[in-house]
Amino acid sequence: MPTADTAYSRLEERFRRIYALEQATGVLDWDRATMMPDGGAEARTNQLTALEVTCHELLTHPEVGDWLDEAETTVTSDPAALSDWQRANLAEMRREWRHASAVDASLVAAITEAEGRCEMIWREARPNSDFEAVRPALQTLLELTRQMANAKAEAFGCSPYDALLDGYEPGGSSAEIDHLFDDLAVFLPGFLSDVLDAQAARGEAETPQGPFPIEAQAELGRRLMAAVGFEFAHGRLDVSHHPFCGGVPDDVRITTRYDESDFASALMAVLHETGHALYERGLPGDWRLQPVGQARGMAMHESQSLLVEMQACRSPHFLAFLAPLAREAFDGQGAAWEADNLHRLWTRVQPDFIRVDADEVTYPAHVILRYRLERQLLDGALELSELPAAWNDGMVALLGIRPPDDRLGCLQDIHWFSGAWGYFPTYTLGAMTAAQLYQAAEESLPQLSESLREGDFRPLMQWLRETVHSQGSRLSGDALITAASGRSLDPEVFKAHLRRRYLDA
């Protein structure tokens, strides 16, 4: 094992400092999205920029590269010098160093500042459906993102898009995504038609009638979060413009947004983000401030949220537990509040404009559209001024509906306006992974359906803790899926899940 004087030990100490600062950044980001008054935007941008630049400088200092070289040489000559976890940590350190070293500190500062400005303008532009108001700020951010993508592409020897993708999905490639998404794009239209026909034959589900008071929605959300396994001593639930999970593993923050006419939207967002939170809480505590102790990419992260929300919490078993709680929370009466009706209602398939409210069948089309558009924008094949029209045309082509305004179109998601370019594919990769992991959990836990019917998530969470959460980034994404499910990611598992739920039910 390394002593305090080895290159590897010095790397561990450097990354402890970096991750502590990045955790502070995470809490400040959460505050900006939930609590910060608009007048604090400039000061907060300056704070975040200072932290980002400091982290970048700590990581790219010449001594870090020397330590990496020395530690890798030591391991090559004596593999036993480091444990399996330490060797995996060293590999992740090198990957993060390569990302950081490809970009100058001045560009890091410029991007962070542009992200802060653009997001604050987007907050006002979105409800007003005013794309032109945010377009100049987004253009600046896009141009800076292109610079970063090109610099990283040169360092990694890949395309600019793949360089950005690697920041969210290590080892991911647009070639693989194209293959998966093109396959889904062929499968989904015919499948969607079959589902809509089957759904029409079964008749419409009843919709519970509101209004649904926001505090009652929040209380129900907190009750279900606790049932799933959320620890309020280590986290909280708040409101933001866009649902998200933030904070740090020991203080994980989730948000939702409420609609008094539809309690399901906020509730399912809460359950979705709770899945993210449980992944963060389950990461290996001994490696909390090291690269190997972080989540294994955003596809795996999205799989954990979708496994909770879509696979488990929209199942008829869990809805048998949820239905009486919802009826009690809103003083509901009649058949609309029965579990079988809520199951039909909350698995209803209907093309819609909003991604976060989309059903499982149409959701991949939302992601495919965003993936294609962001690649075109980054490559320069699509001008930003053309985005609203291209978005609307894409919705017609993929889902047969045209957004009436940009609020329901290209302004709906925060991602591009906050600098998250290359993120969107991980949503559908995560959906595929969730279906595969849930199938493996069912095979390992014969009583899973009954435990969900009782609102008992402990068997499922224990299985996920052992197979996924506790592994951190020790394994590659493919190796982690294979170890947990017995095979690499297989889109046929996702398709089979969709057929069972929406055609065989």
Closest CA to 432 of 363, 375, 373: 363
| Phi, psi angles (nearest 5°) of residue 305 | -70, -40
In this prediction the pTM is 0.93
Single-letter amino acid, residue 250:
D
Which tokens hold the place of 303?
Answer: 């799989």
Domain spans of the chain? 7-158, 175-502
Contacts of 241 (CB under 8 A, 6+ apart): 33, 123, 126, 257, 414
Q: DSSP letters of 444-495?
A: H-TTHHHHHHTT--HHHHHHHHHHTGGGTTSS-HHHHHHHHHSSS--HHHHH
Tell me which amino acid residue 291 is: P
d(CA 199, CA 195): 6
| Three-class DSSP category at 96 | helix
- The backbone torsions φ and ψ at residue 398, rounded to the nearest 5 degrees and listed phi first, read -90, -35
Kindly report the CA angle at 431 between 405 and 488, in degrees rounded to 5?
145
Residue in this structure with the two tokens 């450097």, named with its chain if needed: 14
How deeply is 250 buried, as exposed, middle or buried, from its count of CB atoms within 10 A (0-12, 13-18, 19+)? middle
pLDDT in tens, the chain (505 residues): 445 689 999 999 999 999 999 999 999 999 998 999 989 999 999 999 999 999 999 999 999 999 999 999 999 999 999 999 999 999 999 999 999 999 999 999 999 999 999 999 999 999 999 999 999 999 999 999 999 999 999 999 999 999 999 999 999 999 999 999 999 999 999 999 999 999 999 989 999 999 999 999 999 999 999 999 999 999 999 999 889 999 999 999 999 999 999 999 999 999 999 999 999 999 999 999 999 999 999 999 999 999 999 999 999 999 999 999 999 999 999 999 999 999 999 999 999 999 988 999 999 999 999 999 999 999 999 999 999 999 999 999 999 999 999 999 999 999 999 999 999 999 999 999 999 999 999 999 999 999 999 999 999 999 999 999 999 999 999 999 999 999 999 999 999 999 999 998 6
Contact assessment for residue 408 and residue 356, using Cβ atoms and an 8 Å cutoff? no
Catalytic residues: 273
Q: How far apart are CA 279 and CA 301, in angstroms?
A: 7
Query: What are the backbone dihedrals phi and psi of residue 32, each rounded to the nearest 5 degrees, phi first?
Result: -60, -40
3-state secondary structure 195-224: HHHHHHHHCCCCCCCCCCCHHHHHHHHHHH
For residues 66-93, one letter each, b for 16 or more C-beta atoms within 10 angstroms of the residue's C-beta and e for the rest, the string is ebbeebbebbeeeeebbeebbbbbbbbb
Count Cβ atoms below 10 Å from residue 4 Cβ, excluding itself.
8
φ/ψ (deg, to 5) at 366: -60, -40
Give the N- to C-terminal CA distance of the chain in Å, as an integer. Answer: 55
Side-chain-side CA neighbours of 429 within 13 Å: the count stands at 28
- The phi and psi torsions of 256 (rounded to 5 degrees) equal -145, 180
**Single-letter residue type at 185:** A
Say which amino acid occupies 132: E
Q: What pLDDT does 4 receive?
A: 63
How far apart are the C-alpha atoms of 451 and 432, rounded to whole Å?
Answer: 24
Contact 425, 177 (CB under 8 A): yes
pLDDT recorded at residue 1: 47
Give the per-residue pLDDT at 356: 87
Crossing angle for the helix pair 263-282 and 339-346, to the nearest 10 degrees: 80
Sheet holding 235-239, edge to edge: 235-239, 251-256, 245-248
Instruction: List Cβ neighbours of 302 (8 Å cut-off, separation of 6 or more).
Output: 426, 427, 429, 430, 431, 433, 434
Long-range (24+ apart) CB contacts under 8 A made by 104-111 are 104/151, 105/53, 105/56, 105/57, 105/60, 107/144, 107/147, 107/148, 107/151, 108/52, 108/53, 108/56, 109/49, 109/52, 109/53, 110/144, 111/141, 111/144, 111/145, 111/148, 111/419
Bridge partners, 246 (sequence order): 253
CATH code of the region 175-502: 1.10.1370.30
Would you put residue 486 in left (φ > 0), alpha (ψ -120 to 50) or beta? left
Element containing residue 357 per DSSP (H, E)? none
Measured CA to CA, the distance from residue 55 to residue 96 in angstroms comes to 11
- Report how far apart, in Å, the C-alpha atoms of 128 and of each of 121, 135, 405, 440 are: 11, 14, 10, 45
SS in 3 state form for 365-398? HHHHHHHHHHHHHHHCCCCHHHHHHHHHHHHHHH
